[in-house]
Amino acid sequence: MADRHEIAEAYADWRARCNENDRLRRMLRGWDRVVHLVATDTGDRFTVVVRDQMLAELTDDAEAVADLVVTATSEDFADLFWGDLNPSEKYMSGEITLAGAQEDVMRLDAMSMVAFLDQ
Amino acid sequence: MTAGPPAPAPAPERGGAALLRRALGLRTVVSTSTGLAFAALEYLAAAGLVAYVAGDSAWIAVATAGLLALLAWGCFSELNGMFPTAAAIRLYMKRSMDDRVALTITLTYLTTIVLVVAADAFIVGTAIAHVLGQSAPVAALIIAALLGLAVGSNLRGVKVAGGVQDVATYCVLVATAVVAVTALVRSHRPLRFPLSPLHGHHPADLLEAVALGVFLFSAFEWVTTNAEEVRRPRDIHRGMLIALALLAAVCCLITVAMSHVLTHHQLGSAYPQLSLGRAAFGQAGLWLMAGVTAATAVNTFNGGFITASRFIYATAREGSLPAALARLNDRAVPWVPVLALGLVSLVVSLVVAATGSWEVLVAVGAALEALIYAVAAYCVLRLRTRLPEHPRPFRLPAPRILAGAAIAVFAVLAATASVSVQNRFDPVPLAVIAIGGLLSTAYVLVALPRVRAAAEAKKAARRPRRPPRPAQDPGP
């Protein structure tokens, strides 16, 4: 299981890649969203806020209402943020579940794909 | 890495208060489910159905089809409850059968979406050209313009808002029902053989009528791909049930009105709904039904393009389709599938326009949808055995009887629909389905192993970026 520190470290790396990626920032134009992350094995919850085409820092508390809720194991979150996991594979096998509008799900997946296109 | 089949992650909690800022309510679920089923092709299917029964008794075939659609509703409700995700079709098929078979069936199912989009483009384009008094070449231009507009909107990420979709769908239903009732009342003639569908007809004709009747309800289940967006998960199966009731009522009305009011020539045209509108309200009715026909395209183009393109994108991201199909434009739209869908739909609709073979399209759609309903029933049965402990918020009662009956009935209906056009034996629909199935099979057996090998090679070549965990101090 990945603890909060590992997930925060992974997210910080992912956040830096996303915020420095011009193409990704264009994709996030007009897409201000609150995303909840729920780790099924540890019970940890995090919030990611996307505003003005930028990802904010990961916070431990969960705002009352989200636009998108992502549920996965803590290991999957860590691997996803490091770019070692294709979230679509896990989603299509039911290991990652989502709640939210389809277009929001698409943008989130776009972030995970485009941020690591040079890999 | 865990061994064995992965356990499904639990669905996100949905407490009493809305968890999501933007969530779909029951009203939008109903309008989405109904709107996806009530495409412009609905009018042609209704007109086609009329030819198989006596007098004004088509409502019996529609009502029978509605009861059968309840079987499909039960199966999709159970499957949706088990896998409340847009990827459900891949999930429940993969867990019910060999993945190659599942993928072949899924790709063939996608063909239905292309057919419906193509058919709608053809019908709307032809109807508009007819109302404007224009010829077939102009209709072809209108078809191309409509599809171009749909592709362009999708590429720009333009999505019809839920509220607009609700208004469009309910207006279509109400207007259609009002036109049908008015046309019937204004005929000043009693109904002919309203309770005798077999008068002068063979029982096989009624079977064909029921098969076409099932097609009138088909695509109601596509709303299950919105399972992640709803305020309450049970709204999906409740919304589908309400949608079936609405569809049954409106389709009973239009089939009876068409059989009672329209001539044989009008029934065989590409726009019988315009003739029905004229019978009800004269020239104003003609324009009203032209507008209604155009409004049906809102749901078809919006829902059909989005559903199909996102599914192709997700399947490509999973590694089961070429990676090129997962390319995104700057609006996070999978532009390759959207363009491909638009082009294929254009070709199909122009071929239909040139050959006048829209009834073949209806028969293919009816057969494919019946097949999918049979497959869904099979998945329900298999998963009761393979995943007996999986949470099932909705359980189909007496599954061996009901799902077993669904498999048998829908398989027979699919077979019947695939070899009949205009109440005559015609193997062309079967040939079209067989070609589609062969192409899907060829892709899965020949191309897919290479696609997956390429994806695996790319994955293997990447070095993990995640730093290794520091070794724990073993202590003294």
Nearest-Å Rg of the Cα atoms of chain A is 13
Q: A89–B317: do the CB atoms touch at under 8 Å?
A: yes
Residue B310 contacts A, CB cutoff 8 Å: yes
Provide, as residue numbers in chain B, all residues whose Cβ is less than 8 Å from the Cβ of A65: 18-21
Look at residue B420 in the predicted model and tell me its pLDDT. Answer: 87
Maximal CA-CA distance, chain A? 36
Residue B475 contacts A, CB cutoff 8 Å: no
pLDDT band (50, 70, 90) for residue B474: low
Look at residue B409 in the predicted model and tell me its pLDDT. Answer: 94
Residue B391 contacts A, CB cutoff 8 Å: no
Of B5, B36, B79, the C-alpha closest to B307 is: B36
Residue B319 contacts A, CB cutoff 8 Å: yes
Look at residue B18 in the predicted model and tell me its pLDDT. Answer: 41
CA distance B118 to chain A (A): 24
Provide, as residue numbers in chain A, all residues whose Cβ is less than 8 Å from the Cβ of B87: 91-92, 94
Q: How far apart are CA A86 and CA A99, in angstroms?
A: 18
pLDDT band (50, 70, 90) for residue A63: low
Q: B314–A91: do the CB atoms touch at under 8 Å?
A: yes
Look at residue B12 in the predicted model and tell me its pLDDT. Answer: 45
Strand, helix or coil at B354? Answer: helix
Q: B83–A88: do the CB atoms touch at under 8 Å?
A: no
| Chain B 135-164, residues with CB within 8 Å of chain A CB atoms | 157, 159
Provide, as residue numbers in chain B, all residues whose Cβ is less than 8 Å from the Cβ of A101: 22, 229
E-assigned strand segments in B386-459: 420-421, 424-425
- Does the structure show a pLDDT above 50 at B310? yes
pLDDT in tens, B49-66: 998 888 888 999 999 999
Provide, as residue numbers in chain B, all residues whose Cβ is less than 8 Å from the Cβ of A119: 462, 465
Residue B90 contacts A, CB cutoff 8 Å: yes
User: Minimal Cα distance from B466: which residue of A?
Assistant: A82
Q: B315–A109: do the CB atoms touch at under 8 Å?
A: no
Residues 6+ apart with CB under 8 A from A11: A46, A48, A58, A81
Q: A84–B313: do the CB atoms touch at under 8 Å?
A: no
- Does the structure show a pLDDT above 60 at B175? yes
Provide, as residue numbers in chain B, all residues whose Cβ is less than 8 Å from the Cβ of A97: 8-12, 85, 228
Read off the amino acid at residue B96: S
Of B473, B463, B359, the C-alpha closest to B47 is: B359
Look at residue B198 in the predicted model and tell me its pLDDT. Answer: 82
CA distance A14 to chain B (A): 11
pLDDT in tens, B179-225: 999 999 999 888 888 888 888 888 888 888 898 899 999 999 999 99
Contact yes or no for B24/B159 (Cβ under 8 A)? no
The pTM (predicted TM-score) of the whole model is: 0.90
Tell me how many residue pairs between chain A and chain B have CB atoms under 8 A apart: 129
pLDDT in tens, A37-49: 999 999 999 999 9
On the CB side of B320, CA atoms within 13 Å amount to: 22
Q: B12–A96: do the CB atoms touch at under 8 Å?
A: no
User: Minimal Cα distance from A63: which residue of B?
Assistant: B19
